[in-house]
Amino acid sequence: MQILLLSMPDSFEHTPTIAIRMPNGALGSLAGNIDPHHRVAIADLVLAQSSVRRTVERLMHEIQPDLVGLSVMTFQRGTARRIISLIRALKPDARIVVGGYDPSLAPDAWTHPDLGVDVIVRGEGELTFRDLLRAIENGTPLSEVPGLWFRERDGVRQTPPRPVTAVEEGTIRPPNRAARVLSGYTMLGRGVDVIETSRGCTFDCSFCSIIEMRGRNFHRFPLVHVIADIADARARGARAIFIVDDNITLDIVRFTALCQAIIDADLTDIDYMVQGMTSAIAAHGEELAPLMQRAGFRYVFLGIENILDQDLVFLKASAKNSQRQAGRRVGNASTAAVDILHRHGMLVIGGLIVGNPDDTPEAIDANLAFARKYVDWPYIQHPTPYPGTPMTRDFVERGLVVNRRVEEYDGTTAVTRSAHLTADEIEFMRWKAERWMKVRHMPTVLRHDPGFVLRHGHQMLAHTFRGTTWRSLVGLESARDVFERYRALRAREREYVDWPDPLRNHDHADHDEVGRALSGPPNDNGSPALSHAARPPASSLTFVKPSR
Ligand code: B12
Ligand code: SF4
């Protein structure tokens, strides 16, 4: 079979494509785990952001795929619909399969007959996708493949969820990077790739999709597999690697062993980026950080989330951000974690969430001041009601969701208000402060990647300050005017595909689906993952109308 796998072109504020274009890890892993006689091509459309339609047309013409698979996050839903419609027009007999976080957690949004999706793969994809291809090829019923929703003549059928894979058993083969057909991956001018060393998390932060996606569990790839994977990425040109693990810091002993294995394998000339919990870094950093530094870790994304205790309680992120002494919580671990990483030459990407239900201007200011003082690159977001998360339920129940256009659920558009501030005020506060924090990081980047900054620095600045004009620079326009212009530009940027949305005449279809998906109950027992089948039918779940 000829297979084309696509990731969506939509990017968001903190990863501008001028500086950061990373491959989608899911597609490489899917390609590496199908039977070898298939011909598979991967196209990360973020590499063709300004020519999406032309690129899809060309690939469809050259590859003539029997099946096209799309990986989609919630904010990319509208783009995915247009691309599917385009593919349908170009090759009506191609089968369309969707997977990833949005189809997994909001499958109802993907079943409209006018949309043209044949199969939804829910949850982890490698084994389900492999078995789906086998079933199609052998003509056996799709009902025998766990983990699917699929279209039949009389409607959509569901198969039971597939249990999460124990990756330590070698069930998942390494990714197939050779299948990528577009080029241009970059992290500030260096070739970049992604690898994973583990899957899952045992925490249950209320804003995170991971628990609903796969339950509370943690599985580790064997370290030999990981080192071989890094070596493969390096051999293909990667000089920067993003470790996409959900939470690598759950097992510090193993993380330490990984750093040592990277050093032993002489793979230290790569800039590694990883995300971690502040509590783990604060508690174990004195032993871990020197090894991370020697292994080549450069950026650590810290899930600080919020520096105020009441917000951490709402986000259910207190435990992972607590500093402890003799087993007792003695405070927030963020400053200790930042300090340890800085002392060992690493840079901190500060993940913060502002605009929580009870946030006042002072609460947001306190977080912005923290970011200004402690983090190197701010990654400040607003609480975003992604399908199936407990936080979504909280916001819906309090009537605080003010925007249901999911294409704006990109993390930096405030789509919820607090009890004290409008969504607009929340976003304005973050936007205004964050731009200047980003500028402060430029000299550090210049020292590390001078060629890139000299060539593209002006574009990076222009992106960060888009909306600014000479009039605003000399004070003839207010920051508010600039903010409104920025938002108008941002709205235009979201039109990635010059092709109509097949559901454009179903004005409320998407919103109703969102409403239903948003109010789904959590999968809080950790097992089995994806408990959708055991839930009340979607139509019985109602969306609480926002009060403003
Ligand atoms: C790494 C990561 C990133 C990296 C992306 C690097 C890259 N190019 O891959 C960075 C930091 C840049 C990033 C950014 C963002 N991310 Co992010 N990210 C993750 C993270 C940590 C891991 C994703 C991953 O690669 N996993 C490993 C792969 C192998 O697994 P997977 O993606 O789940 O894919 C499997 C299945 O989903 C399925 N599958 C996936 N696609 C397909 C397609 C087909 C056809 C099939 C059959 C199956 C299938 O099979 C795969 C293999 O098992 C997750 C989860 C988490 N714990 O936070 C969030 C997560 C995916 N991100 C999320 C979001 C929202 C974002 C941002 C919008 C904002 C943000 N929160 O940072 C931006 C947008 C990025 C952009 N496009 O501009 C959300 C998505 C929620 C949703 N409902 O859409 C998640 C779930 C975090 C959360 N909030 O809960 N992210
Ligand atoms: S610790 Fe990280 S991966 Fe785990 S639930 Fe919280 S945000 Fe998600």
Question: Which token pair is 226?
Answer: 């990981």
Report the alpha-carbon distance of residue 105 to residue 364 in Å, rounded.
30
Where on the phi/psi map is residue 427: left (φ > 0), alpha (ψ -120 to 50), or beta? alpha
Residue 133 C-alpha to ligand 1 middle, in angstroms?
A: 23
Phi first, then psi, for residue 533 (nearest 5°) are: -60, -30
Residue type at position 106: A
Is pLDDT of 523 > 60?
A: no
List ligand 2's pocket residues with C-beta within 6 A: 201, 203-205, 208, 210, 246-247, 277, 303, 320
Is pLDDT of 524 > 90?
A: no
> Strand order in 347-353's β-sheet?
192-195, 240-243, 271-276, 297-305, 347-353, 377-381
Q: Considering the chain, what is the average pLDDT of its residues?
A: 92
Residue type at position 300: V
Q: What kind and span of H or E run contains 102?
A: helix 101-105
Residue 326 has a pLDDT of: 80
Nearest CA to ligand 2 atom 3: 246
Residue 528 has a pLDDT of: 32
Residue 526 has a pLDDT of: 28
Q: What kind and span of H or E run contains 241?
A: strand 240-243
Contact 390, 522 (CB under 8 A): yes
In the chain, the largest separation of any two C-alpha atoms, in whole Å, equals 69
Is pLDDT of 135 > 90?
A: yes
* Mutation pick for ligand 2 pocket among 205, 306, 386 (CB with most ligand atoms within 8 Å): 205
The arithmetic mean of pLDDT across residues 493-516, rounded, is 74
Is pLDDT of 280 > 90?
A: yes
Report the alpha-carbon distance of residue 11 to residue 50 in Å, rounded.
12
Q: Which atom of ligand 2 is nearest to the CA of 201?
A: 4
Residue 33 C-alpha to ligand 2 middle, in angstroms?
A: 26
Length of the chain equals: 548
Is pLDDT of 101 > 70?
A: yes
Residue 209 C-alpha to ligand 1 middle, in angstroms?
A: 9
Q: Which atom of ligand 1 is nearest to the CA of 389?
A: 90
Residues 330, 334, 338, 339, Cα dihedral to 10°: -20
For a pLDDT cut of 70, what percent of the chain falls above it? 92
Nearest CA to ligand 1 atom 19: 244
Give 141-177 pLDDT, tens digit per residue: 999 999 999 999 889 999 999 999 999 999 999 999 9
Residue 49, C-beta contacts closer than 8 angstroms, at least 6 positions apart: 9, 11, 17, 496
Question: Which token pair is 461?
Answer: 């600045």
The arithmetic mean of pLDDT across residues 3-21, rounded, is 97
Q: Name which of 36-45, 131-140, 166-175, 325-334 the model is least confident about.
A: 325-334
Residue 89, C-beta contacts closer than 8 angstroms, at least 6 positions apart: none
Give 179-238 pLDDT, tens digit per residue: 999 999 999 999 999 999 999 999 999 999 999 999 999 999 999 999 999 999 999 999
Q: Which atom of ligand 2 is nearest to the CA of 320?
A: 1
Is pLDDT of 530 > 50?
A: no
Residue 330 has a pLDDT of: 84
